[in-house]
Amino acid sequence: MRQLLLAAPILIPLVACAVTAMLWSRPEAQRRVGLGAAILLFVATLGLMAEVLSGGMVVGQMGNWPAPFGITLVVDHLSAAMLVITGLMGLAVAVYAMGPGAQERDRAGFQPLFHALLLGVAGAFSTGDLFNLYVWFEVMLIASFGLLVLDRTREQLDGGIRYVMLNLVGTTLFLLAIGLLYGLTGTLNLADMARVAPEVENQGALAAAAVLLLISFGAKAAVFPLFNWLPASYHTASMPVAAIFAALLTKVGVYAIIRVFTLVFAHDHALFGPLVGVIAMATMVVGVLGAAAHYDIRRILSFHIISQIGYMLVGVALMTPLAIAGSVLYVIHHIVVKANLFLVAGAVRQVGGSFALARLGGLWVTAPLLGLMFLVPALSLAGIPPLSGFWGKLVVIRAGLEAEAFVLAGVALAVGLLTLYSMIKIWNEAFWKAAPDTAPAPEWTRGQRIATFAPIVLLCGVTLTIGLWTEPFAAFSLAAAEALLDREAYIAAVLRPHPTQLAEVLP
């Protein structure tokens, strides 16, 4: 049963992708299958989470090949949390995608690509093998390429090329790093690699491979100075696509950085800690300043993804239990909030007729509830108590102060303030100021309205729950951090059945 639950987050989107692709000519049926699969995925990830909470780490060896020879699937606290949030986002966006524009999207192949994306993301979160991680990255990438240029407009083609070119180079560097690491450690299994890495003679070459990994994961996570592709492409995608991208894609890069640098390269923290710390600070500052310069909701939100990535790297930079717990809590909170903001932006476009702040206005009068639903994630993003972002920032900054990284903590605080500035800007322009004379908004049906607002309300509810009932989430984050720092337990859990050691067999 545990093994089946372990594979379910991969199997469900895989089957959904195949079935929706076979139903190519019947968009209506595709949509139903897609929604069913999204619900199933969410339930399965919740089941897996319950299993991890009750029985600890779930480990499975694919095809019964003993580790480290076969591919291992490992789900610990962090992976389980990421999978649950993937399920939640999949469900929210699957419902949202039934809103305006659903028919055009489904005819262009939205459903198979969407589930292929979830497949890649779920696989990346559950694998315990470096080469397998590369394969999942590619599954996710190719699906995201298709999704980004779904409408085939000029704008999307241009944004798509920017996105595709930079990501192609990023993943090839990942492959290069895998080659180097395999040559140095003789293994691809992350647990086995963590066991061997501290004993590798040529630590300089190992560090070089680690930096290559940091570059390729960093390009995926859009950290400074590799973030250029994100604001150049995200705003061109259609809204459900942008929402799922904003929620999951960069976070897979962050997850990979956290996983690899807490597990395999933890012994080299003296080198990578300060490096990641500087990257984190620069990422926060550049992202928030970029957002301050823009007047299009989608572009502002895209730049804020970058700035928030910086907070998530603080855990890797400091490597204390509290800092890593802060990172975990921050990732969980951020995914919900950021996806929700993109969903709200889509609704604003539908109600107000534009994404450009100059053309919007008076939405507080015409759509007060939408205003409320914008304020919850927006203020949470800025870190206003008692919303979820406040607790995330509190833990991260406190961890910074305790580790005496005062500059890092100070930058985090200042960036929070500037985030508030951007959110207030959207609020003032779109909701507060008098409505300009614009073309009447497009009509939409009752069903479309429900499909648009149900996920927004759901995610607002999650944000409020994390904010008002933080205790279990904080406790979970601390448990996840302790599990991440306890490398011996991870290695033992993966390699236990057959302690044969590949590295010693090889020449």
Partner 1 sequence: METAFALTIGVLVGAAAYLLLARDLPRALLGFVLLGTAANLSIFAAGRTGTMVPPLVAPGAEALATDAANPLPQALVLTAIVIGFGLAAFALVLVMRAHAEFGSASAEDMDEAERPDDVAAPAAPALNPAAERKEAA
- List residues near partner 1 by CB under 8 A: 131, 134-135, 138, 141-142, 145-146, 149, 152, 154-162, 164-165, 168-169, 171-173, 175-176, 178-180, 182-184, 188, 232-233, 235-236, 293-296, 299, 355-359, 425, 428-429, 433, 436, 506-507
Nearest residue to 253 via CA among 322, 174, 191, 177: 174
Q: Which is nearer to partner 1, 169 or 275 (CB)?
A: 169
Q: Which is nearer to partner 1, 127 or 470 (CB)?
A: 127
Residues near 56 by Cβ (< 8 Å), separated by ≥ 6?
Answer: 493
Long-range contact list for 231-234, CB < 8 A, 24+ apart?
231/290, 231/299, 231/302, 231/303, 231/306, 232/159, 232/162, 232/163, 233/148, 233/159, 233/160, 233/162, 233/163, 234/159, 234/298, 234/302, 234/305
Nearest residue to 267 via CA among 197, 331, 175: 197
Which two structure tokens, joined as six digits, stand for 444? 């939409």
What is the nearest approach in angstroms of partner 1 to the Cβ of residue 47? 31
What is the nearest approach in angstroms of partner 1 to the Cβ of residue 490? 23
DSSP notation for 352-420? HS-SBGGG---HHHH-HHHHHHHHHHHHHHHT-TTSHHHHHHHHHHHHHHHTT-HHHHHHHHHHHHHHH
What is the nearest approach in angstroms of partner 1 to the Cβ of residue 17? 15
CB atoms within 10 A of CB 107: 12
Q: Which is nearer to partner 1, 83 or 300 (CB)?
A: 300
Which two structure tokens, joined as six digits, stand for 410? 């100070």
Q: Which is nearer to partner 1, 3 or 500 (CB)?
A: 500
Which two structure tokens, joined as six digits, stand for 166? 């930079």
What is the nearest approach in angstroms of partner 1 to the Cβ of residue 177? 9
Burial state string for 62-79 with b = 16 or more CB within 10 A and e = fewer than 16 = beeeebbbebbbbbbbbb
Q: Which is nearer to partner 1, 300 or 474 (CB)?
A: 300
What is the nearest approach in angstroms of partner 1 to the Cβ of residue 422? 12
Output phi, psi for 270, to 5 deg: -60, -30
Q: Which is nearer to partner 1, 351 or 426 (CB)?
A: 426
Q: Which is nearer to partner 1, 123 or 400 (CB)?
A: 123
What is the nearest approach in angstroms of partner 1 to the Cβ of residue 265? 18
Question: Looking at the DSSP assignment, which residues form a beta bridge with residue 59?
Answer: 74
Q: Which is nearer to partner 1, 33 or 147 (CB)?
A: 147
Q: Which is nearer to partner 1, 145 or 444 (CB)?
A: 145
Nearest residue to 162 via CA among 227, 217, 229: 229
What is the nearest approach in angstroms of partner 1 to the Cβ of residue 352? 13
What is the nearest approach in angstroms of partner 1 to the Cβ of residue 154? 5
Instruction: Establish whether the linkage from the previous residue to 225 is cis, with ω within 30° of 0.
Output: yes
Output phi, psi for 442, to 5 deg: -65, 150
What is the nearest approach in angstroms of partner 1 to the Cβ of residue 488? 26
